[in-house]
A and B are shown apart, each in its own frame.
Chain A
Amino acid sequence: MVEKVRVRATLNGEPVDFLVAPYVSLLDTLREELGLTGTKEGCNDGNCGACTVNLDGRIVDSCCVLGAEIDGSTVETIEGMAEPGRLHPLQQSFLEEAALQCGICTPGFLVSAKALLDKEPNPSEERIRFWLAGNLCRCTGYDKIVKAVQKVANSA
């Protein structure tokens, strides 16, 4: 039995302190150890973006990061995006613009889009499409996702 590693980090603004086996991905750590199932698995090899989280200000595929690696880091997931009782403008925009169908890719897209708008409040359509190219959606054809992000960008 491999010895578990102690990890202390900031998760969605709250301190967390847990033990995790050193081979467990951040994706499985969030979903299995910490109970945050909003981050989704689509491929488990870094090619679909469904498991996107924000790690110290950068978006990463959490399936390609180990849970043990986040010691001392700040992680934001979809569960930390809304204020209590109030959706983030991107979440509201995705609802109003019908930017989701099945919804499995939606947490990843929202985390990615938020990271873009946090850095660049007014990106062009081309820039939005480039930034979101690491997130796969098979339902929408992306049109309404891009428009939902543009709507928030334009109102910034």
Chain B
Amino acid sequence: MTTETTKGKYNVIGTRPIRHDGYDKVTGRAIYGADIKLPGLLQGAVLRSPHAHARIKSIDTGPAKAVPGVYAVITGADFPGAHDTLVDLGEGAVNFRYASNNIMAGDKVLYKGHPVAAVAAVDKNTALEAAALIKVDYEVLKSVTDLMEALKPGAPIVLEDLEGQDLGEKIDGPTNQANHIRHDFGDIEKGFAEADLVIEREFTTAMVHQGYIEPHNATATWDEEGRITIWTSTQGSFPTRRQVAGILQLPDSVVKVIPLEIGGGFGGKIPSYLEAVAAILSRETGRPVKLLMERSAVFEATGPTPGSWMSAKVGVKNDGTITAAYADIRFEAGAYPGSPVGAAMMCVFSCYDIPNTRIDGYDVVVNRPKTAAYRAPGTTQAAFAVETVVDEIIEKLGMDPIEFRLKNAAKEGTRRADGPIHPLIGNIETLEAAKASPHWNTSLKKNGPDGKLRGRGIASGYWFNIGLKSAVTIAVNEDGTVALTEGSTDIGGSRASIAMMAAEVLGIPVEDVRPHVADTEGIGYTDVTGGSRTTYATGYASHDAAQDVVSQLRERAARLWDVDLDEIEFANGNYQSKSDPELRLSHKELSSKLGSTGGPVVGSASVDPEGAGGAFSTQIADVEIDPETGKTDVIRYTIVQDVGTAIHPAYVEGQMQGAVVQGIGWGLNEEYFMNDDVMVNSSFLDYRMPTTYDLPQIETIIVEVPNPGHPFGVRGVGEVPIVPPVATIANAIHDALGIRLRESPMNPGRILTALDDKG
């Protein structure tokens, strides 16, 4: 279902063409990172720490080096020792020294799975066999994986050299508190004093993983000229180049990253893990080296999203007006600083217009893998807290959940709690569409079959979206087709959406645009595929590059007809003379005359747009709970979302549905299950993600409030849909059982315990 405001406005945008890379992907021909073959290729293996926290006293690589077929064994000592340089990767920053220590431990291991050595050998089994022979002498240290424990005085210190900050002041002495920041707005005490009802609650959420199906991989050569070439699956070939160069203390330009097809990322394939290791193994062996990560290592040693402790407090008047709100958000950063607590603070209250707010955020290091971005990083956790408190307020006031949200809705001109003013946004339109939805207007029978109990929940969420840098070139072929080159790796159909925008400008069918993702030497700098920026920013560049083509083709027409450039107008894919209707050529006809009018036409654009425009989603869930087992089934789910303009509505729906299902897994059963501070469920069997059989159809309602900051009104789509699901499910569980769960996941054990407590 689509509430379309762009219907009939465009020729290509809003249609559902087959994606250009689809044929290769349904036939098995597409080459993903693990599929690359090179002459003389060696296979690698990484030895990882079994301990959550230990000092490395010594490493004996001798027995491994003695294995026939082993070409090299490396440790942290083979790395150059990167300096403390902080670089923004688009969705989170990286400190090269920490990044280097994260991919190959220095003097300490900080979490189970932390790499300590790597082997290159003639084949995978030889490499694994040799890695198992490396002797590491560890001095096991006390560890801490719970963030509230890590903040207590006397807690084991994860990073001895960490300079903790508290509200801008340096913390004296060792600490696990990397940072404490605050946003203050209005007068929080006065705001709560004005309230008739104040609800304050505490929440926790477990660490969860992005769960992409393709494990990390990297293949590298380090040649005689000192140049490094890397084939990998990454969300950003340029940011990967930046990280590899930073870790190896080399100029960016000696590293070339060739992005192969990528099997999912959701933020988790922005950080680089294997690339620099493969490069050093290649330097040591003179051969190309491939590394494939095991699934257990993907869980244990790549960036999940933080577990959290949060407190949320909201005050309202009896008429439902919010007078004040406070949030304390504490995130596990993992072994190095840099959780997405800042993003959570930007979003936590941003659905609402609240005159008095305070938000505290803590970034806490613990003996867990360094967290990475995961789809609207940090914001699902924050929404779980605030939307659950809002639901409790709505219940106490006896108000309608959508009317309450409409009454307090943030709109154009509302100041966000962290400072920025909302531009034109679709918050109210999204709530109105939810109110009109078939789901909201169908009553739910509260008693299910076999004594099961049903409930309905609703929650909203916000994500700010980002712009950043993208480059696109468009070369015109003589047959009228065009080759579009971009730097955004295509993680879910973006070649199609980027090509559609060029086709729209040029007035040609989308099939006549051949999109191509280039390596770092084939296109200008382009930031990550993340932050919901690709269709927005690379699409913006595509639009501008296509306009550059149009402007050059107008010049060719003027030359061809020997008339002034001002005489040539372009409309509906045709170049024509204003004064002589006989002089008219289509894009295709004019393209065939390039050879005789000055040679090839190549349009190009690079952009860094700042009008990304925030996105809102409101979601409705019906759950059915078995009070005997505590199992919760989602039996109906609707997502309503403002997407600005849906370029390819099928892939927009796909983003919405996929994010919701990740959120359902997050809320109901996914978690890093720790025992003695090490993860013990690091397989898909034990870290159970939703399957087809666990789910209903996910109903989608696309709302289009075009973003004035984009030539076609695009807003980022991929992240905001994962913001409300955990809260939506919690509110549905409350409706079914009359109990409020404030710990995620809301698994059968927690539901049974809560039912027992209720009596």
Contact = CB atoms under 8 A, between A and B. Distances in A.
A43 B19 contact: no
Contacts of B37: 35
B22 A100 contact: yes
A95 B492 contact: no
Interface of B: 16, 18-19, 21-23, 25-32, 34-35, 37, 124-125, 210-215, 261-266, 292, 294-295, 491-493, 648, 650-651, 653-655, 657-662, 683-685, 689-695, 697-698
Interface in A77-116: 77-79, 81-82, 87, 91, 94-98, 100-107, 110
B696 to A, nearest CB: 9
A141 B34 contact: no
Given A45-B683, A47-B683, A141-B661, A104 B27 contact: no
Interface string A33-69: 0011111111111011010000000000000000000
A40 B683 CA distance: 17
A47 B692 contact: no
A138 B651 contact: no
A130 B694 CA distance: 9
Contacts of B653: 98, 143-144
A23 B654 contact: no
Contact of A102 (B28, B34, B262, B693): B262
A98 B650 contact: yes
A139 B654 contact: yes
Contacts of A35: 37
A143 B210 CA distance: 19
Contact of B16 (A91, A98, A130): A98
A79 B213 contact: no
B292 A41 contact: yes
Given A129-B693, A136-B213, A100 B263 contact: no
Given A102-B264, A102-B491, A38 B27 contact: yes
Nearest to B697: A143
Given A41-B215, A43-B684, A138 B658 contact: yes
Interface residues of A, number: 58
Contacts of B210: 138
Which of A21, A103, A134 is most buried by chain B, counting CB atoms within 10 A of its CB? A103
A145 to B, nearest CB: 7
A102 B263 contact: yes
Contacts of A81: 27
A79 B16 contact: no
Contacts of A45: 295, 683-685
Nearest to B69: A1
23 contacts: A37-B28, A38-B29, A91-B26, A94-B22, A95-B26, A98-B648, A101-B655, A102-B264, A102-B491, A103-B25, A103-B26, A103-B263, A107-B28, A110-B26, A132-B693, A133-B692, A136-B684, A138-B264, A139-B654, A141-B662, A141-B695, A141-B698, A142-B690
A36 B37 CA distance: 12
Given A137-B213, A141-B662, 16 more contacts: A37-B32, A45-B683, A77-B28, A78-B27, A91-B26, A98-B654, A101-B264, A102-B492, A105-B213, A133-B691, A139-B264, A143-B654, A143-B657, A143-B697, A144-B657, A146-B697
A65 B353 CA distance: 58
A125 B37 CA distance: 40
Given A138-B210, A138-B211, A145 B692 contact: yes
Given A36-B28, A138-B210, A42 B262 contact: no
Nearest to B694: A133
A101 B491 contact: yes
A142 B410 CA distance: 33
A106 B661 contact: no
Nearest to B662: A138
A143 B698 contact: yes
Contacts of B31: 37
B25 A100 contact: yes
Given A110-B26, A133-B693, A140 B213 contact: no
Contacts of B26: 87, 91, 94-95, 100, 103, 106-107, 110
Contact of A140 (B648, B654, B691): B654
A144 B654 contact: yes
Contacts of A137: 213
Nearest to B660: A141
A107 B550 CA distance: 40
B640 to A, nearest CB: 15
Contacts of B690: 142
Q: Which 7 A-B pairs have the closest CB atoms?
A: A38-B28, A104-B263, A101-B492, A141-B661, A103-B25, A141-B657, A98-B650
